[in-house]
Structure 1
Amino acid sequence: MCEAQNKQLQSLHPWLKVSKLLKFCYFIVALLLISCGNEASKQQTTTDTVNAQAETTETPETKRKTILCFGDSITAGYGLDDTNDAYPGKLQDTINALNLDYTVINSGVSGETSAGGKSRIDWVIKQKPTIFLLELGANDGLRGVPITETRANLQAIIDVVKSKSPDTQIVLAGMQLPPNMGADYTTDFKQLFIDLAAENNIGFIPFILEQVGGIPELNQRDGIHPNVDGHKLVAHTVWDVLGPMVKS
């Protein structure tokens, strides 16, 4: 190679380096753009998948249905060694044996009055149960609370359920008192449940302690709260009303 050609190549050498560097930079940028595009595509695909799964899992058809038992010590299972032996737990056993897709929620509070139930219904009904079983009033009666007050409180609970969870089916459990509370009071007390169920067009259990109340061998020593065998019968009484609702 001649000397003139050498000098010409030497003068072009720096530009050749710059040209190669620019090509390398373009190559890196292109790789980054491709990589980012693929990542964005993956993220979008993942997001679409998650959204699709969320839509699938949150549809009403796939949600497990619930029966919420809202009551006092009878519902809570006062005095039992295992609260699962209370009638809500026995209802769950029946439902499981029939392979029905329902969960029974025990929302019983020992000593609860209708006023106490009224004060906590706004929080409880947020669960939006499929069926709402209202079992309250016995403690009102045993304390001699005026019938009008108990009636108003129970109606207020029913109103909250209807307004905040309109798709929920309501069942009212009737209660009766021992005769020592006075003939007029016990008669009016029994009637208030009948009237409330009829006026609100809701399910009704005439007497939740049917064939249990007042029978020593089916109650605990206090003669008021059912024992394990008593709760089994209570569950049967409740199921007579709930069963057709659940199966349908």
Structure 2
Amino acid sequence: MKPWFVRFVLAFAVASMASAIAVAQNAPAADSRIVQSRDRTAIDADLDERLARDWGLQNEEWARYRQLMQGPLGVYSPGLDPFTALGIEARTDEERRRYAELQVQAEARRVEKLLAYQHAYDDAWKRLHPTLQPVVLTDAGATPATSGALGRLAVFVKDDCPPCEQRVRQLQTAGTAFDLYMVGSRQDDARIRQWAAKAGIEPAKVRARTITLNHDAGRWLSIGVPGELPAVVREVNGQWLRQ
């Protein structure tokens, strides 16, 4: 047998063994990745099923919601809840009515819980701080109309604003009921109470809810009313107008 042929055979054998060893070494890693992928898929499926159940939707409806939010709807309106997204993109009138009814029911439950906690909060405040003015626990996503009776004024103010204080004094002197929203309060109850005291808001009117004290939490920007503060606004035919 010629020497060059022997060397060729030996080289081929060594290369084959190295390849086999590499395949054997990589096999566990590949198997591990497959197992991890399967586990992740199972976890995602369980999570989707639980979320669909929490929202009162079928699994197919939840899957469609996720698909919609990955498309143009999610780009234009990120953060939409499932009922709104599915209702906007409803394929039939029946679907649209179904999602509208589901959303109304969910909103009613949410508001009921919020009011129940507000009552508990008020009771605790009266027991623990009877001499301090309470701050209303309004929903951060709500508009001013949801925090008071229909037709009430919403008054937006800010700190270091003498015209704001003057306007609030005028409204209080006139006996006007209104919901006050402090822009830039940073969710600091003490800050808004100090402002109210400086503006001369009577604690008795706050306790009676003739005047409510609220953190703005982005509402001023959300209602889209132009101009500077103070702003006294009221909703008229779905639009917020200065008064």
Q: Normalized against structure 2, the TM-score is what?
A: 0.29
**Highest RCO, 1 vs 2 (Cα 8 Å, sep ≥ 6):** 1
Q: Normalized against structure 1, the TM-score is what?
A: 0.28
